[in-house]
Amino acid sequence: MIAARHLVVALACAGVGSACHRDNRTVAKTIDNAAAAAPVDPAAKPNPPVDIMLVLDLSKSMEETDITPDRLAATKSATRTFVAGNTHDRIGIVIFAQAALLRLPLTGDVKALDETIADLRIGDVPELGTGIGDALALAVDELRSGQVPHKVVILLADGDNNWTIRFDPKQAAALARDHGIVVHAMLVGTDSESVNPATLQEIAATTGGTFHRVTDPASFDRNLRDVRDVVRRMSTR
């Protein structure tokens, strides 16, 4: 801005003589005032980072093909795209079925996140069961020690909780709420017999999050973009 100011002053003075030099300060001051009043592009200032845990269902029913090519493949594709667009945040991964496992602690390493998601398989944890509450509680435990003010869980599952080791979904949702952690829940699948929205809706409502239905790959990507926008708005408050 200083160089531009000097250039404008020089052009304004060219060929005018000594009278122009008396007005140099006035011209420069006018330019500086105009620059100060110019609107600031919000994109120029990065949003504060957010800690995000992806909690991914690896139960046997994630092999169902009501979403092309199947529920798990669609989940992996959409979450890899989401991770690639969130280089400013730390993201971790919990996987679950009958049991829950911290697959990757919070990290800003996008390559490690992408490779971890790409390698997920049914059977990485015992698959005959869906322990949503225990998985959510494990994600809360990973998030609660972080120093950032905003912490989020994105929970992706295709059914109701039918297995509890320690925390049922209500207990886990209350734990998240008490630690100021917002849970955005996504119901994966279209088969009405195997897909039950009630548990995920209640978790989202308890924690102040949002609930989304995923019925095809396009809606998966769209819903994750919507969640990203919500998280960004939250982080600037």
Residue pLDDT, tens place only, 14-36: 444 554 444 545 444 444 554 44
Let me know whether 65 and 152 are in one domain.
yes
Let me know whether 88 and 29 are in one domain.
no
Region 174-199 average pLDDT:
91
* Integer Cα distance of 159 and 193 in angstroms: 9
122-126, 150-154, 233-237: least confidently modelled range: 233-237
DSSP characters over 215-227: -SHHHHHHHHHHH
Q: Which two tokens stand for residue 164?
A: 């509890």
Let me know whether 207 and 133 are in one domain.
yes
The answer to whether residues 131 and 100 touch, using CB atoms and an 8 Å cutoff, is: yes
pTM: 0.81
Q: Which domain holds residue 145?
A: 51-235
Average pLDDT, rounded, for the chain: 85
Contact partners, residue 219, CB within 8 Å, separation at least 6: 213
* Integer Cα distance of 187 and 151 in angstroms: 21
DSSP characters over 16-36: T-HHHHHTHHHHHHHHHHHHH
Find where tokens 């250039």 sit. Answer: 7
Find where tokens 């992706």 sit. Answer: 156
Let me know whether 64 and 134 are in one domain.
yes
* Integer Cα distance of 76 and 56 in angstroms: 9
**Residue 41: predicted pLDDT:** 53
Integer angstrom CA distances of residue 172 from 39, 72, 91, 236: 44, 24, 20, 26
Let me know whether 94 and 14 are in one domain.
no
Let me know whether 180 and 98 are in one domain.
yes
**Residue 48: predicted pLDDT:** 87
**Residue 6: predicted pLDDT:** 42
The CATH number of the domain holding residue 166 is: 3.40.50.410
Let me know whether 20 and 79 are in one domain.
no
**Residue 45: predicted pLDDT:** 62
Let me know whether 119 and 144 are in one domain.
yes
* Integer Cα distance of 88 and 76 in angstroms: 20
Integer angstrom CA distances of residue 103 from 27, 29, 41: 61, 58, 38
Return the SS3 of 206. helix
Cα three-residue angle 160-180-117, rounded to 5 degrees: 55
Q: Which two tokens stand for residue 71?
A: 């529920």
Q: Per-residue pLDDT tens for 6-16?
A: 433 343 444 44
Query: In sequence order, what are the beta bridge partners of 151?
Result: 51, 181
Q: Per-residue pLDDT tens for 52-74?
A: 999 999 999 999 999 999 999 99
User: How far is C-alpha 94 from the geometric centre of its chain's CA atoms?
Assistant: 14
Let me know whether 103 and 171 are in one domain.
yes
Let me know whether 71 and 169 are in one domain.
yes
Overall domain count for the chain: 2
